[in-house]
Amino acid sequence: MKIALIAHDKKKQSLINFSLAYKNILEQNDLFATGTTGKKISEATGLKIHRFLSGPLGGDQQIGAKIATNEMDLIFFIRDPLTAQPHEPDILALMRLCDVHNIPLATNIGTAELLIKGLARGDLSWREVIHENGHKK
């Protein structure tokens, strides 16, 4: 599975802690992240992560492009709902793409834990069927 890891500044430590807790599951997948988030998670966990630009510089849009072309299977986007984000339109566009293309999206650690445990159980294997059949949506 191709998994994106994204976190707003005040939520990066939460995503790092999550990545440490579920490193054994995450390392079995192809990981992608926005710039700073990917760097911090990789340094803390040793996980191999393909890094895009930072979110405000276009990283959210780069991940959105992967979603639109069926090249992303699961998104962990730990958001800070209490802080205004200068690139809010990009964030909303990424979330809309997840809805349009039926990509599971966790925006908080509670949902992230449910999705990662589902991933470990094989509950997301339907994404592999989509890839095998060449479907775009």
Which residues are identified as catalytic? 60
C-beta neighbour count of 27 within 10 angstroms: 13
Question: What whole-number distance in Å separates Cα of residue 114 and Cα of residue 103?
Answer: 15
Shortest CA distance to 36 belongs to which of 12, 60, 15? 12
Supply φ then ψ for residue 29, to 5 degrees.
-130, 170
**Bridge-partner residues for 50, per DSSP?**
32
